[in-house]
Amino acid sequence: MSKILVEINNKFEEVTKSQLFELAAAGQIQPETPLIYGERSTKVRKVRGIVFANHRPVNEESVFGIDDSVMFNPVRRTPPAVVQQKHPQTVAGAVPVPQRPEKQGNPFLLIIFCTVGVLNIAILAGVMTCFWTGTKTETNTQNPAVSAVSETKIRTQEKLQEPKNTEEIIEQCEQSVAHIQGVHSSGTGFLIKPNVVITNRHVIDSEFLELTEIIFPSVQGHNKGPYKTKLLYADPEWDIAFLEVQTVLPQMILAENHQFKRGQDIVVIGNPGELENAVNVGVLSSQKEINGQLFYQLGISINPGNSGGPVINRNGEVIGVATLKSNQQEGIAYCIPSHNVLEALSAMNKLSANDKERQNSQHRAKVAFQMLAAVHLICQHSMIEYDNAIQLSLQNGRSADDGIRLVSGEIDEAMRVVEYVFLENVKTEMMEICRDRNLSKSLRDKLAEFYANCIEIKSYVDRPRGNAQTYKAKLIALTDTGRRLATQLQMQLGIPGIADGQ
C-alpha cells in the first residue's frame, strides 16, 4: 500500500489509514488539510468514509481505491477450470465452461450442473464491483438515516432491560425468519418491518422473483407460506435487498443505535442446506474494513444458506445481517451493521411506486440475460464438440454423420437439461419483458435478438445440418453475433464484464 502523508503543524507526517481517521475524529486535521497518497496530492476530505469532528461523514470519492486486499469472499462454490478452445471466444457475461473430465461420466451434465451452481458467481462478480466500493463508516454518533427511518415504525421501543437467554431469543424471533427459495439458489431473510423481508442481494440476483417463494419455517398453518414476492429495493452499495411479502407475521426489532462491543454475545438464525431456521451462537469478534466498507467480524460458523439471516444480540435486537464467510479460516463470518441497514431502509422509503416497478423490471431483464448467456455458452460448447467429432471422423475416412453419432448421446442429454433448467422459465419471462414499458425499447429489442440467437444456436445442436464447412461457419457466425449482443446488453444493464474491460 502507498504511504499516506498528512500535514500536521505545518509539516507532513506519515500515518496509517486508521490513524488518519482518528486524527480527523479528534479534530486535529480538517477537510481541507493537504494529503499525499503515493504520488498524488489531494485533500483529506477525499478519503472515503472519513468523519471529522463536528462534521457529517464525507462521501466524496476515495483516493484509497481498493488497496486493502479482499481477503474474504462471499460463500460461493469455486468454478471449475475453463476449457481452452481454439474456437471463437465465449459469450460475454456467461459462466466459464468446465473442463471435460478424462474419466467416465457425462461431461455435458457436468457443464450444466456447474453452470447452475456457479451462475450466481457470474452475477455476483458484477455485483461485487459496486458491493465493494461503498462509502459508509461506523461512528459513535447518531446516524443521519435514523430520523428518516423513524416513520417506518420499527419495533425498537420495546427493548428489554434484562438480557435474554438463547431460548428466549429464539422464541421471540424465529417466527420472523424466512427461507427464500429460488430455482437456482436459496438463502435466509427476516421481516424488518410490516410486509417487508430483508435478505442479501446476492440471494436473489440469479432468480426470477415470479418463481421465488418465501416460507417461514417456524410458523404453523397458512401463515407459514409459501408467499410470492417482488423487489422493493436493491441497495447499490451494500449486499442488501428488500422484498415485499404480504403477511400478518411480526417484524423483528432492529437496533437503531448499536455500538460495537468486542465479545458481545450473538445469535444467528439461518437456513443452510436442508436445515430450517438453524441456530448458531457466538460473539462479535472485531470490526473489519473491506474495500471501504466496515463489517462486523463474527466468531461463529455459518454455512451457505445463512446469507441474509439476522444477527441478534442478547436483548433480542437485530444488530446485523449475515453476508460473508471467510474462505481462509473456519469460524469467521461477517455481517452488515444495523446502521447501514437503516440507511438502506431510508433509501427505500424515498422510492415511489413507479421506481419500485422499474427496479422489478430491471431485475427480471438482468436475470433473463444471465440465463440466456448460460444457454448460449452450453450450446456453443456443444457445437464445438460436434465440429471436433466431424473433423476427426473425416480425417479417419468416415462420414460426418459417424462423428455426430459418437457424441450425440451425451449432447442430447445435456440439451434436455438446458431446456428444463434454463429455457423453460426464460421463454415465459421473455414474453413479459417484450411487453414491459418500464424497459427501454432498445433493451427489449436487444434481449429479443439475443434470445433468437440462443434459439438458433440450440437448433444447430438439436439438429446438426449442412456439411463440415458450413457447420463450422455457422458456429463462428452465431458465436460472433451472440458475443456482440451480450456485450451491448452488459452495457445497457450495467453488468460488469468484457463490456467494461474486466
pLDDT in tens, the chain (502 residues): 567 888 887 777 888 888 888 888 888 888 888 888 766 678 887 787 787 765 555 444 444 443 333 322 333 333 333 333 444 444 444 444 334 334 345 555 555 545 545 444 444 344 333 333 333 333 344 444 444 444 444 444 444 457 899 999 999 999 999 999 998 889 999 999 999 999 999 999 999 999 999 999 999 999 999 999 999 999 988 999 999 999 999 999 998 888 898 999 999 999 887 788 899 999 999 988 888 889 999 988 777 788 999 999 999 999 999 987 655 555 578 999 999 999 999 999 999 999 999 999 999 999 999 999 999 999 999 999 999 999 999 999 999 999 999 999 889 888 988 888 888 889 889 999 999 999 999 999 999 999 999 999 999 999 999 999 999 999 999 999 999 999 999 999 988 764 434 3
For 227-259, the pLDDT digits (tens) are 999 999 999 889 999 999 999 999 999 988 888
* Whole-number pLDDT of residue 331: 56
- Locate CATH 2.40.10.120 in the chain: 152-351
| pTM (two decimals) | 0.67
Q: Give pLDDT tens digits for 189-240.
A: 999 999 999 999 999 999 999 999 999 999 999 999 999 999 999 998 899 9
> 378: helix, coil or strand?
helix
Instruction: Give me the helices (H) in 331-440, please.
Output: 338-349, 353-395, 400-418, 424-435
**Alpha carbon distances (Å) from 384 to 156, 173, 417, 444, 462:** 59, 53, 18, 29, 13
Of 447, 369, 324, whose CA–CA distance to 205 is shortest? 369
SS (H, E, C) 229-286: CEEEEECCCCCCEEEECCCCCCCCEECCCCCCCCCCEEEEEECCCCCCCEEEEEEEEE
Question: How far, in Å, CA of 202 to CA of 70, rounded?
Answer: 18
Predicted pLDDT at 72: 29
Helices (H), 80-177: 107-131, 145-149, 166-173
Q: Cell 475416412 appears where?
A: 397
| Distances from the Cα of 491 to the Cα of 96, 207, 366, 370, 446, angstroms | 20, 20, 11, 13, 11
Reading the block at residue 369, the C-alpha cell is 440475460
pLDDT number for residue 486 = 95
Q: Report residue 368: phi and psi, to 5°.
A: -60, -45
Identify whether the C-beta of residue 266 lies closer than 8 Å to the C-beta of residue 282: yes
pLDDT of residue 131: 30
Residue pair 258/284 in contact by the 8 Å Cβ criterion = no
Instruction: Extract the C-alpha cell encoding 204.
Output: 436473489
Q: What is the pLDDT of residue 358?
A: 94
| Long-range residue pairs from 136-140, CB within 8 A, at least 24 positions apart, any chain | 136/49, 136/57, 136/237, 136/238, 136/293, 136/294, 136/340, 136/343, 137/21, 137/48, 137/49, 137/50, 137/51, 137/57, 137/294, 138/260, 138/287, 138/294, 138/337, 138/339, 139/25, 139/51, 139/57, 140/259
Residue type, position 118, single letter: V
Please tell me the predicted confidence (pLDDT) of residue 20. Answer: 85
Whole-number pLDDT of residue 256: 84
For the CA atoms of 402, 407, 409, 415, what is the dihedral angle to 10 degrees?
A: -120
Residue burial 26-61, b: 16+ Cβ < 10 Å; e: rest? eeebeeebebbbeeeeeebbbbbbbbbeeeebbeee
Backbone phi and psi for residue 130, each to the nearest 5 degrees, phi listed first:
-85, -25
User: Cα separation of 395 and 385, whole Å?
Assistant: 15
Task: Give the pLDDT score at 399.
Answer: 92
Provide, for the chain, the percentages of residues in helix, strand and coil under a 3-state DSSP scheme, each rounded to the nearest 5: 40, 20, 40
pLDDT of the residue at 38:
67
- Are 246 and 260 in contact by the 8 Å Cβ rule? The answer is no
Q: What is the pLDDT of residue 124?
A: 36
pLDDT for residue 162: 73
And the C-alpha cell for 361? 423490471
b/e burial code for range 130-147 (CB count within 10 A of at least 16 → b): bbbbbbbbbbeeebebbe
Within 10 angstroms of residue 413's Cβ, the number of other Cβ atoms is 14
CATH 3.50.50.100 fits 152-351, yes or no: no
CA atoms of 186 and 306, how far apart (whole Å): 9
Dihedral class, residue 195 (left if φ above 0, else alpha if ψ from -120 to 50, else beta): left
The β-bridge relationship of strands 34-37 and 186-193 is unpaired
What strands, in cross-sheet order, belong to the sheet with 177-181?
A: 213-215, 177-181, 186-193, 196-199, 241-244, 230-234
Cis peptide bond N-terminal to 226, omega within 30: yes
User: What was the pLDDT predicted at 328?
Assistant: 54
